Chains A and B, each alone.
Chain A
Amino acid sequence: MAFSTAGSNPMLDPRVLHRVKKNPAAVVSAAFLAFIVLACVVGPEFLSASLGEPGPNQYAPPSWEHPFGTDLNGRDVLYRVLTGGRISLLVGLCGAVVSLFIGTAWGLIAGYAGGRVDALMMRVVDILYSVPRLIFILIAINAFNAGLQEWASQEGLQWLVQSSRIAILILTLGFIEWLTMARIVRGQVLSLKERQFVTAARALGQSHTKILTRHLLPNLAGIILVYLTLTIPAVVIDESFLSFLGLGIQAPQASWGSLLADGAGAINPLRSFWWLLVFPAAAMSLTLLALNFLGDALRDAFDTRGR
């Protein structure tokens, strides 16, 4: 391990944190994200669960009783935005972690192997960039969902039967958002592997696996974390894209995407129930903005070029 400290580890660099702290947009974003995550995770516990059930008040405009109004079935929109946020954020975070594993492994191997292997692996990334990946996901979700449900009910995993769609979404979306991560990691590995601590490790006769995991990976941790922050909003957007089209999360479960679809359906020239659209849109867009601001600020803090 002694050698890996020879490459400066950006994770341990106090200057990075200092630079982020000096960026007011990043601080505000971090605070807002903490707030929205807390609200979505614990918020619904403090509200009565009956708010999520159909009630007598159809399309009630915002009031003290229902701050965000109610929907077609008399359900409280605030409650649904919070519980929908749970699913959107869960899929976003887990999908981004899946993409992190694939992208990091792909980039590490390509960059470290170099030569033809590298060229071939990066060609695959280029090709995947230019095909409409999300469209394949549309098909894949339908193809795999029934299979997973059957398997889960055979194994007696009741929770998985109920949330099989969420599981499929996490896996498939993680599977399409790893390309940028692979490119970034490969680029870093290409420069890192020429450094002296890697040469030294090689001269000591360490195995490739050991060099990859003990020496290269710790030095990549910072940049990986930054791109994780930027992948989460991408996955959240993908998930709500599918849910908006009615192909992702299915009713009665809701995510921000399906709430937005309800909202978009509730505005028309005769009468617009604007609160169904505006509140989910605000929750989602502010969260995405905050995630992107924070990710950008982190990236700039690591990389001061071009400022």
Chain B
Amino acid sequence: MFLKVQLPWNVIIPAESLDTKGLMLQKSIIIRLLDDFSTKKATKDLGYFLAVTTLDHIGEGKVRQHTGDVLFPVLFSCVTFKPLRGEILEGVVHKILKHGVFLRSGPIENIYLSNQKMSDYKYVPGENPIFMNDKLSKIEKDVVVRFSVIGTKYIEVEREFQAVVSLEGDFLGPVS
């Protein structure tokens, strides 16, 4: 699910970018914030960080001892995406393996649908392998599939989410 969140962060402006005043300072704060935002990439609680929408407030700067850098508390709004257990999503198949398929949905690449969670589908080997059921419904590369999320995992080192999903349930499967 995509979220709109307001967050309080601290932005640190190095001493050397402080010699100009007013607008320039505001610009440095924005640039710094956008930079920090894309470096952060994701957190466990809020998911992937997509884009900053508005900078809502810049607080009083505090000079840090020793370095002389200035720390500004800011309040901004942004859009994030987090996969939730129990949620129903649509994604695109990008890889087919013997035991299941990988899908991408939103910013997540590692969404795994195991053959065990789509037991009516059988693996059909070939140059372009596919999964197919008795009703000739096909799961192949670039097909849109509607699935339910049965588990999510956040990998702190890479700042990435992984999800395992299932087709067990009504109205799930490839979408024409």
Answer yes or no: do A and B interact.
Answer: no
Give A contacts to B, CB under 8 Å: none
Give B contacts to A, CB under 8 Å: none
